[in-house]
Amino acid sequence: METQNIFTLDEVYQIAIQYKQRGEHVNLTQLLVTLENYALTEDDFDKKLSIFQYTGHIYRLLPNYHKSAELYFKALEMQPKEHIFIDLIQNYLISHQYDEAIRWADKADHLYNNVIFRQLRSSAMVNLCTPYLERKQFESCVSILRRYSEPDDVVLATTVTSVKNYCSIEKLNYQEVQTTGQKNVIYRPDVFNGRKISSSKNIEMAKIPVYICEIPHATLLAGSTIVLAGNKQFILDDTFFIFDRRRFLLDTHTKEVTKGYSALVNGIAVHARRGDSLDIDFAVYFGGTYSFNFYHWVIEHLPTFWVINQLPQYRDLPILVDEGSIKHPNMLAMLKQVNITNREIIPVKAGHAYNINKLIVISKLAHVSPSVRDELKPTDVIIHREAVEFLRQIFFMPTQSKPNRLIFLGRKSSVAARISNQEEIQSVFSDYGFEIVYPEELSLEQSIELFSQAKIIAGATGAAQQFSI
């Protein structure tokens, strides 16, 4: 291909997008023919693999999903890489071939045991169920889920209510924990959504209550904020009912959980493995949605200890923690530091259901809204002051001198690269005196020491603590 001497495959893909946007179908078709011919004559293994993959991407633009899948299969035959499996499964999701998406997600998960494939499987199952769930046709929803379930799996679909409402109706122990002040203060940034903000005035919002409650005869759906109560009623964290569901894709808040939970306005569909029997009568759950993610673990989940520490009657109870949260050594180290009373830590598997005679459910001190339909707003993320103060109290490391280090956060093990030209960007930052560091290679103590000495921190968005679970 002559243009390959001029353009990278990334650039060729961008040209294809422009052809598509301008309606230049002849040029787009010719580009595809040229790419396929080039693949036939290319001897370099890696180049040929990439050409198949990018040609599949471009066929997806047409859209010609059948041809796109054919190209991904060719790439997989050469080398079954994780990211190519992801492309193939996403191709089936986009083309509404959900059964095929589930089949290939299972194959890929068997090969790589990666949470990404379980999330893609979950997404396919949710899409199969959603039309029925929206119409409250719960039996049809259960029938679909049963097709992809083991005999002992928990498969249910029914209406949903808030924790507070359920506890009020059932007259259960529900109490709110007092936090400082009557309002949350949102500190408006100077730049947001790529634009400079004209007013730097902070925003005041009504406080979202912090609560703790006891649910008897509960079924915990690990890795989510969903609890199945004794009367077969699904209860969900109160914030699900507080945020504006017209703006937020709240179903994504739960549907991405491993093995398939879907929460919509009219109800919830659940498909979960039956968890191992837990030899406990009374326990506290400290997990929830995205607890395997470093950022969400630190901001949303760890500060929950501040809440439980206010109530001495729960001082000695064991805690249930999502298994994925403690596979990362730094996340486990942080858990041990906040667990100041040395409560027993019991791991549970996301996507599995566990029966607990009495379960303590605690709201979060931080609320990170799920995907938005329109532009993100500063008020979409609310963090109680107590959460930040609690984390600072536990992890703050005082320094003797004024912080002066310039730090750029690189990434080595991320499944999906945040910056495609990371090496070039790091070179520029190095020229300006920045140290290139990879936080995923540092221990918790090393990370705290590094950031306590930093004057400026730069890098791609995210926690820079990528790992595979």
Task: Give the amino acid at 366.
Answer: A
Q: Kindly state whether residues 168 and 279 are assigned to the same domain.
A: yes
In a domain, residue 203? The reply is yes
Phi, psi of 42 (to 5 degrees): -80, 130
Q: What is the pLDDT of residues 58-91, one digit of tens each?
A: 999 889 999 999 999 999 999 999 999 999 999 9
Task: Using the predicted structure, report yes or no on whether residue 254 has a pLDDT greater than 50.
Answer: no
Cis before 63? omega within 30: yes
Chosen domain end from 363, 387, 411: 387
pTM as predicted:
0.72
Domain CATH code at residue 52: 1.25.40.10
Cα angle 204, 245, 228; round to 5: 105
Q: How many domains does the chain have?
A: 3
The alpha-carbon radius of gyration of the chain (Å, integer) is 24
Task: Using the predicted structure, report yes or no on whether residue 383 has a pLDDT greater than 90.
Answer: no
Q: Kindly state whether residues 158 and 68 are assigned to the same domain.
A: no
Task: Using the predicted structure, report yes or no on whether residue 257 has a pLDDT greater than 50.
Answer: no
Higher local confidence (pLDDT), 407 or 422 = 407
In a domain, residue 132? The reply is no
In a domain, residue 368? The reply is yes
In a domain, residue 179? The reply is yes
Cα–Cα distance, 186 to 445 (Å, whole number): 30
The mean predicted confidence, pLDDT, of the chain is 83
Chosen domain end from 354, 387, 420: 387
Q: Kindly state whether residues 59 and 108 are assigned to the same domain.
A: yes
Q: Kindly state whether residues 236 and 298 are assigned to the same domain.
A: yes
Q: Kindly state whether residues 55 and 204 are assigned to the same domain.
A: no
Q: Kindly state whether residues 190 and 320 are assigned to the same domain.
A: yes
In a domain, residue 148? The reply is no
CA dihedral angle for residue 317, residue 321, residue 323, residue 325, rounded to 10 degrees: -140
Q: Kindly state whether residues 346 and 409 are assigned to the same domain.
A: no
Q: Kindly state whether residues 257 and 382 are assigned to the same domain.
A: yes
Q: What is the pLDDT of residues 323-357, one digit of tens each?
A: 988 888 899 999 999 998 899 999 998 888 899 99
Q: Kindly state whether residues 57 and 36 are assigned to the same domain.
A: yes
Whether 156 and 232 have beta carbons less than 8 Å apart is answered as yes
What is the residue-wise DSSP string for 160-204? EEEHHHHHHHHT--EEEEP-SSSEEEE---SEETTEE-S----EE
Range of the domain at 204: 154-387
Q: What is the pLDDT of residues 283-299, one digit of tens each?
A: 999 888 788 888 889 98
Instruction: Assign residue 436 a region (left: φ > 0; alpha: ψ between -120 and 50; beta: otherwise).
Output: beta
Instruction: Assign residue 136 a region (left: φ > 0; alpha: ψ between -120 and 50; beta: otherwise).
Output: left
Q: How confident is the model at residue 4 (pLDDT cuts 50, 70, 90)?
A: very low
Q: Kindly state whether residues 453 and 414 are assigned to the same domain.
A: yes
Higher local confidence (pLDDT), 100 or 135 = 100
Task: Using the predicted structure, report yes or no on whether residue 414 has a pLDDT greater than 90.
Answer: no
What is the residue-wise DSSP string for 18-79? HHHHHT-HHHHHHHHHHHHHHHHH---HHHHHHHHHHHHHHHHHTT-HHHHHHHHHHHHHH-
Chosen domain end from 369, 387, 405: 387
Q: Kindly state whether residues 259 and 350 are assigned to the same domain.
A: yes
In a domain, residue 308? The reply is yes
Q: CA end-to-end span of the chain, whole Å?
A: 40
Cα–Cα distance, 273 to 354 (Å, whole number): 9
Q: Kindly state whether residues 401 and 365 are assigned to the same domain.
A: no
Task: Using the predicted structure, report yes or no on whether residue 456 has a pLDDT greater than 90.
Answer: yes
Q: What is the pLDDT of residue 121?
A: 84
Task: Using the predicted structure, report yes or no on whether residue 376 has a pLDDT greater than 70.
Answer: yes
In a domain, residue 146? The reply is no
Whether 151 and 121 have beta carbons less than 8 Å apart is answered as no
In a domain, residue 351? The reply is yes
Q: What is the pLDDT of residues 157-212, one digit of tens each?
A: 888 888 888 899 999 999 888 888 778 787 777 777 777 777 767 888 777 888 99
